Amino acid sequence: MKFTVFGATGGIGREVVRQALDGGHEVTAVVRDPARFTVTGDRLQVVRADLTDPEALRPAVTGRDAVLSGLGARSRKDAGVAARLTRAVLSALEAEGVRRLLVVSAGPVGPEPEGDGVLDRTMRGIVSAALKDVYADLRAMEAELALSATDWTVVRPPRLQDKPVTGSYRAVVGGFPPRGRFIGRADVAHSMLAMVADAGTVKQGVGVAY
């Protein structure tokens, strides 16, 4: 398949590129600073583009089977970037007739998992309060997706870790795994690639966690 990856210099985006290449796919990585992108491969094309300009993004998405995005705020001061940049990506996709889009959000943005205990609910509340601007940005991003013509999927992980890919995690369509506190960035990438051809995840939020 032919994929385009946005946010390819981030932890999840970089893993999406690596795993897609390992799987034999063709990948276009869209970045703002190619010097920060170290992945190489025969089936990889690296494109430098202004991520706020839909017209500049159109050549990178045309003819793609799916687009995967790890775009988002890296800190509270970046709040607003996820919705703003995803809006540009959506405009480019709709202009080029590309329908499949998978993006990364966050567990606390979705519904609370059934069966969580007091500790998990308390921690969720603390984290949500501390990162309220970031989560408001992600909710705005998800609202943009819901209004779009794309076949979108929102992947919602909990706290992220730097661990090798395992392929062993829980995924709940329309919800979140109970007591799901962590997941590795590599496994979030693995889940996104696994969902590309999964019709059951279209226009759904999917919670993923160990």
pLDDT digits (tens, 9 = 90+) for 26-64: 999 999 899 999 999 999 999 999 999 999 999 999 999
pLDDT, tens digit, 9 for 90 and up, residues 57-112: 999 999 999 999 999 877 667 678 999 999 999 999 999 999 999 999 999 999 88
pLDDT confidence of residue 66: 98
State the pTM of this model. Answer: 0.92
The model's confidence at residue 122, banded by pLDDT at 50, 70 and 90, is low
| DSSP assignments along the chain, one per residue | -EEEEESTTSHHHHHHHHHHHHTT-EEEEEES-GGG-----TTEEEEE--TT-HHHHHHHHTT-SEEEE----SSGGGTTHHHHHHHHHHHHHHHHT--EEEEE--GGGSPPPTT--HHHHHHHHHHHHHTHHHHHHHHHHHHHHHHSSSEEEEEE-SEEE--------EEEETS--TT--EEEHHHHHHHHHHHTT-GGGTTEEEEEE-
Average pLDDT of the chain is 93
